[in-house]
Amino acid sequence: MAGVLALVGGGEWTEGCDFDAELLAASGGTEVAVLPTAAAFENPDRAVTTATAWFERLGATVRNVRVLHHRDALDPANVDAIRGARFIYLAGGSPLHLRSALKETPLWNALVDAWEDGAIVAGSSAGAMVLCDPMIDPRGGAFTVGLGLVSNLAVLPHATDDIAAHHKRTFELADDGLVLAAVGERSALLRDTDGTWRAVGRVSVWVDGVERDIGALPVATPPGS
């Protein structure tokens, strides 16, 4: 049975992300494997430092799985670290870089295997976007290919009010039946182990331009999950 999946809208590891304590408890462990990949061209070490301080308050340690480029996702040590993790967290940053670094790599396969074996997987902002397919291209709001841990779901992170107006092009280009999840900072769309979805904080879900209740969303997950 797949573990809990958390799609976070941004502002990770800051005051208000109380759902992290729940995710940590669900993992059954005291270590979080952090992938700072999306922040490779910003300040990946600062992201890990922030995560370390945050999870220390929750009684956990952070393992820096320093995958910054595609070649790092081929490193057996990094692959083993993710395969053995019980809580994996993808930091925010550039979704396009994150996708290119992880796509069709042993590390991505290890993440999928770990999740299907019950590990908790969380992604914030870019991390949340890339876990889905399709993925919204930040350069203009059109759709591109994501990594597809879940499909028929696209995440709009850092969401505020007037979602449809602020993301008009994305709404216009969305295929019929595609779920658009607008997730605010320090908020999360959670998929529980039984396959149902729920929201923590500012989250709204839209299908065909109409806001829907969050529950059994029409999304797909890999076989066996």
Task: Tell me the domain boundaries of the chain.
Answer: 5-212
CA 92 to chain centre: 9
Q: Which residues pair with 7 in a beta bridge?
A: 123, 189
Quick one: pLDDT at residue 218?
Answer: 78
Quick one: pLDDT at residue 2?
Answer: 95
Residue 202, pLDDT above cutoff 70: yes
pLDDT band at 162 (very low <50, low <70, confident <90, very high): confident
Instruction: For residue 207, count other CB atoms closer than 10 A to its CB.
Output: 16
Residue 164, pLDDT above cutoff 80: no
Residues 225, 210: Cα–Cα separation, whole Å:
28
Q: What angle do CA 92, 7, 19 make, to 5 degrees?
A: 100
Q: Average of pLDDT values for 148-164?
A: 91
Do residues 135 and 143 touch, judged by C-beta distance below 8 A?
yes
pTM of the model: 0.95
Residue whose structure tokens are 């949340």: 128
| 5-212: in CATH 3.20.20.150 | no
| DSSP code string of 92-159 | PS-HHHHHHHHTTSHHHHHHHHHHHTT-EEEEETHHHHHTEESEE-TTTS-EE----SEESEEEE-S-
Quick one: pLDDT at residue 83?
Answer: 98
